[in-house]
Amino acid sequence: MMSEFGTLEERVHRKSLLKKKMAAQDCIKFFKDGMDLGWSGFTPAGYPKAVPIALADHVEKNNLQGKLRFNLFIGASVGAETEDRWATLDMIDRRWPYQTGKNIAKGINSGRIRMGDKHLSLFAQDLGYGFYTSKIDIAIIEVSEILEDGSLVPSSSCGVIGEILMIADKVIVEVNTSQPSFRGMHDCVVPLTPPNRQPFLICKAADRIGTESFACDPEKIIAVVESKHRDKGRAFTDADANSEAIASHIMEFFGREVKAGRLPANLLPLQSGVGSIANAVVGGLAKGPFNNLTVYTEVLQDTMLDLFDSGKLDHASSCSLSLSETPGFPRFLDNWEKYADKITLRPLSIANAPEPIRRLGCIAMNTPVEFDMYAHANSTLVGGTRMINGLGGSGDFLRNGYLKIMHSPSVRPSKTDPTGITCVVPKAPHVDHTEHDLDVLVTEQGLADLRGLAPKERAQKVIDKCAHPDYKPILQEYFDMAKKECLAKNIGHEPQLFDRCFKMQLNLAQNGTMKIKNWDIKVDLCED
């Protein structure tokens, strides 16, 4: 049985709002087809659950699939039991700016759901500017507490709560009593719009520039709903041998940078993405020689608790406490006193803002789908067309960090090729991060430090250091051919042959392998 952490009445300090207490099912009457909705949440953390689940139950029970559809604006992805279930029930028309779930991705790629992709820091501010919609019809916000002035204390993430409240017409507040109040952990700021925007004076990961809650007009609140749903954080991804090798290359690189005087002994604030490689890197830091570390990132995963436990991490700033449903969140709650005062949760518009990222000198580390030999990276579209999750916040850090690192396995598993699909290609079929943004590319094969290199030098280093041995001669042959033809025509700054640069991808689509037999333009795609 889930333990209780106080009652709704204890969490709602503005007692007049208790008159608006309502069951989640009773809120269904407020929702009409075509509405613009804003939710709290950032990854499966701090998102509303009671009301979205009640709405999904209502649609399913009454066969309203496709008849009650909404435009959904959230800071990032949230729990599958909400947005992915909504997609299954055809309840989503538009979805910004990021999502996770098999069914919602299927809806996007089949054309049923209109999704837009945007750097997360820009989405946050542009939502507040009214670029996506002039009015959020209903905001659904999960909170820890409602204070006497009506302001809202978030739960395990900040997301875009402030920007949603700026343009929300009506607000439903879910007070989550299945976990402790997170009051005191947040640094709530709602940036003003230009020309009145103020600087974000964050000089250390632990600095705070805001308040413990988001202002909210109590007159806009139409319902207060008690929620007893815990965050359904995604399962912890174990590091594999490739991830451990990548982490080892990065640890060695950090050591060289410290020795060269380009990094201090305690490095600089770290930003790390999600997944097995990110976990392996954080695990490497927990066992490594670097102490008094700080983190300035957008998502804190389970391995950050390991880094705290190692005694090497002093403070972590994030938008979200994105821990696994088990064992992550129980571990955090059971050791609240150990972790809580070392974590600051910020709004997306601050956590991912270019200004503090650049000022702090963040070390950005993220995983793409693939990158090409000139260091353009694709993070979103498999084959250049099939959306996975979205750009997320990686570009915010990769454009503005002190060191910009992308790490990937050299190949990904394939059912039709024993080696797998190469993640190092002649030309990326979609570009999210350009060659101008990235400093270092890493695979389990090695690390390519691209700083100060011209394009052809970069390409050779990427092939030498990052490509899988099975693909290295194929890539080298293409590069040599492209150099010869382009330089002969005096168009050789960044040689590409557009009649064949995607031949490996085309061969994969037709024959199930990227191991082409010949780059000859006169030869069709290689048979098995």
Scored b (16 or more CB within 10 A) or e, 493-506 reads: eebbbeebbbbbbb
- Residues 402-436 pLDDT 10s: 999 999 999 999 999 999 999 999 999 999 999 99
- Residue 347 to residue 190: CA distance in whole angstroms: 8
Domains and CATH numbers, the chain: 8-227 (3.40.1080.10), 241-466 (3.40.1080.10)
When pLDDT is averaged across residues 294-320 and rounded to a whole number, the result is 96
pLDDT in the model for residue 2:
43
Contacts of 246 (CB under 8 A, 6+ apart): 277, 280, 281, 407, 409, 442, 443, 444
Q: How confident is the model at residue 521 (pLDDT cuts 50, 70, 90)?
A: confident
Closest CA to 442 of 284, 241, 273, 246: 246
Q: pLDDT tens, 129-178? A: 999 999 999 999 999 999 999 999 999 999 999 999 999 999 999 999 99
According to the model, what pLDDT value does residue 75 have? 96
How, if at all, do strands 446-449 and 440-443 pair?
antiparallel
Per-residue pLDDT averaged across 341-365, rounded? 97
Collapsed DSSP state (helix, strand, coil) of residue 293 = strand
In which band, very low, low, confident or very high, does the pLDDT at 276 lie, cut at 50, 70 and 90? confident
Quick check: 237 pLDDT over 80? no
Residue 331, Cα to own-chain centre: how many angstroms? 23
Give the pLDDT band of residue 91 (cuts 50, 70, 90). very high
Q: What is the rounded distance in angstroms from the CA atom of residue 103 to the CA atom of residue 349?
A: 28
Residue 273 binned pLDDT confidence (cut-offs 50, 70, 90): confident
Distance CA 12, CA 18 (A): 7
CA dihedral (168, 172, 176, 182) positive or negative: positive
> Catalytic one among 145, 226, 298, 444?
298
The predicted pLDDT at position 526 comes to 58
Q: What is the pLDDT of residues 434-483, one digit of tens each?
A: 999 999 999 999 999 999 999 999 999 999 999 999 999 999 999 999 99
User: Could you tell me if 347 and 253 are in contact, meaning their C-beta atoms sit under 8 angstroms apart?
Assistant: no
Among 277-281, 353-357, 505-509, the range of highest mean pLDDT? 353-357
**Chain segment 15-73, per-residue pLDDT in tens:** 999 999 999 999 999 999 999 999 999 999 999 999 999 999 999 999 999 999 999 99
- From the centroid of its chain, how far is CA 411? 22
pLDDT at 524: 62
Residue 64 has a CB neighbour count (10 Å cut-off) of 16
Q: What is the mean pLDDT of residues 345-365?
A: 97
- Asked if residues 406 and 372 have their Cβ atoms less than 8 Å apart, the reply is no
pLDDT of residue 132: 96
Which sign, positive or negative, has the C-alpha torsion 237, 243, 248, 250? negative
Q: What is the mean pLDDT of the chain?
A: 95
Give the pair of three-digit tokens for residue 441: 């590319």
pLDDT attached to residue 527: 52
7 is written with which tokens? Answer: 């009652």
Q: What is the pLDDT averaged over residues 203-207?
A: 97
Sign of CA dihedral 68, 71, 74, 79: positive
Q: How confident is the model at residue 528 (pLDDT cuts 50, 70, 90)?
A: very low
Burial class from Cβ neighbours inside 10 Å (0-12, 13-18, 19+) for residue 522 reads: exposed
Q: How many angstroms separate the CA atoms of 45 and 156, rounded?
A: 5
Residue-level pLDDT at 142: 98
Question: What is the phi/psi pair of residue 413, to 5°?
Answer: -60, 145
Say if residues 216 and 171 touch (Cβ distance below 8 Å). Answer: yes
* Paired residues of 442 in beta bridges: 407, 447
pLDDT confidence band for 3 (50 / 70 / 90):
very low
Query: Per the omega criterion (within 30 degrees of 0), is the bond before 429 cis?
Result: no
Note if 298 is an active site residue: yes
- The predicted structure's pLDDT at residue 525: 61
In which band, very low, low, confident or very high, does the pLDDT at 523 lie, cut at 50, 70 and 90? low
Q: Give all strands (DSSP E) within 129-232, no chain letters.
A: 136-146, 152-154, 168-176, 221-227
Instruction: Give CB contacts under 8 A, 24+ apart, made by 489-495.
Output: 492/456, 493/455, 493/456, 494/374, 494/455, 494/456, 495/456
- Mention every residue, 6+ apart, whose C-beta is less than 8 A from residue 219: none
Residues in the chain: 528
